[in-house]
A = this chain, B = another copy of it.
Amino acid sequence: MSFREYLAGQQQLIDRELERLVPGENVPPATIHRAMRYSLFAGGKRVRPILCLEAGRTVADSPHGIETAACSLEFVHTYSLIHDDLPALDNDDFRRGKPTSHKVFGEAMAILAGDALLTLAFETLSKMNSVADDRKARVIADLATAAGTVGGMIGGQVADLEGEGKPPNAQLLEAIHRAKTGALLRASVRMGAIYGGADDRQLDAISRYGEHVGLAFQIVDDILDVEQSSESLGKTAGKDAQQHKITFPAVYGLEESRHMAERERLSAHESLAIFGVRAGRLRELADLIVQRTS
């Protein structure tokens, strides 16, 4: 099986599980479920859930039910996109080539759809019956911390908003992105590893892999925002410069940013040494994240 076929298969696995976990469009109150599904099934690549699945498989043989835990990451990721796109935040009209949630459902429903997806993430994890309660509690704690204010996603978002218009600064840049996108990507692999029963040494290795992949992901995101057209990105390109955001190309230039992403990719590979051939898919996923074009 080629890596491309593998990826398509994993995306299908996640999509089926998301479909099962989110109330149907006819379950009242229908509008909110339509809004949740609109953003969930808008062409997301399922990077975080797939990282979670693969981390679990790296420490254990096909951990039963891990796709449920993986979906909680897509819920949190999608909630963060819906709220980030709101007029009061980034004010984006398009995401993945489609009108954003508030453009379709109005601001009130977009706010509530984000809230609902965040809530559903924790409901989903807490109701899993395929994993022991101690691992369940640790997985929930990891997700909540990664989504939170201290070193987590919301904290990064706040630092990002407050950093707009400030002079480019390498330290602030890395702190923002470690929190804003890095924390959830790191949690993706950590949650999979915890679910699969990783020991401390394995969890440590997986965490380092997640940190490198997380940083690489954001560097590439910033590069793509400069290089690509809105059409190929599916969202408004050039927004970062327009909003005077602190980005990797702004601090280091495009060429050095590309070198940095490549170094993070190699460090991600090195972090996986203890797993040998078991971590093949995780290595390919790191490559994909750095080599993607959208």
Choose from B88, B118, B122, B147 the contact partner of A107 (Cβ within 8 Å).
Answer: B88
| A126 CB-CB contact with B under 8 Å | yes
Question: Scoring A residues 68 to 108 as 1 if CB is less than 8 Å from chain B, else 0, what string do you get?
Answer: 00000000000100010010110000000000000000111
CB pair B157–A28 under 8 Å, yes or no, is no
A28-B29 Cα distance, complex, nearest whole Å:
38
A159: chain B residues at CB < 8 Å are 28-29
| Cβ-defined contact, B154 with A27, below 8 A | no
The answer on a CB contact under 8 Å between A154 and B116 is yes
Does A16 interact with chain B (Cβ within 8 Å)? no
Residue of B nearest to A132 (CB): B133
CA of A200 to CA of B133, assembled, Å? 20
Chain B residues with CB below 8 A from A107, complex form = 88
The closest CB in chain B to the CB of A131 belongs to B137
Give bound CA distance, A31 to B140, whole Å: 26
Complex copy number for this chain: 2
A265 contacts the other chain (CB 8 A):
no
**Chain A 113-139: CB-based contact to B (< 8 A → 1; otherwise 0):** 011101110110111000011101110
* Structural contact, B158 and A144, CB atoms closer than 8 A: no
A125–B145 Cα distance when bound, in Å, is 12
With CB as the reference atom, state the residue of chain B lying closest to A145.
B123
A52 in the interface, Cβ–Cβ < 8 Å?
Answer: no
Asked if A47 is an interface residue, CB under 8 A from chain B, the answer is no
Instruction: Looking at the assembled complex, report how far the CB atom of A52 sits from the nearest CB atom of chain B, in whole angstroms.
Output: 17
Cα separation A290 to B27 with both chains bound (whole Å): 33
From B88, B109, B126, A111 is in contact (CB under 8 Å) with B88
Min C-beta distance of A35 to chain B, whole Å: 9
Question: A248 vs B169: C-alpha distance in the bound complex, in angstroms?
Answer: 57
A32 at the interface (CB under 8 A from B): yes
The residues of B that contact A122 with a CB separation of less than 8 Å are 122, 140, 144
**A60 contacts chain B at the CB level, 8 A cutoff:** no
Interface residues of A in 153-167 (CB under 8 A from B): 154-155, 157-159, 161-162
Q: Tell whether A7 is near chain B: CB-to-CB under 8 Å.
A: no
Q: Does A267 contact B (CB under 8 A)?
A: no
| Alpha-carbon gap, A114 to B162, bound state (A) | 18
Q: Which residues of B are found within 8 Å of A29, using beta-carbon distances?
A: 149, 155, 158-159, 162
**17 interchain pairs (CB within 8 A)?**
A27-B150, A28-B155, A29-B155, A29-B158, A31-B158, A83-B112, A86-B111, A88-B111, A108-B161, A111-B111, A120-B149, A122-B122, A122-B140, A123-B144, A125-B140, A133-B134, A140-B140
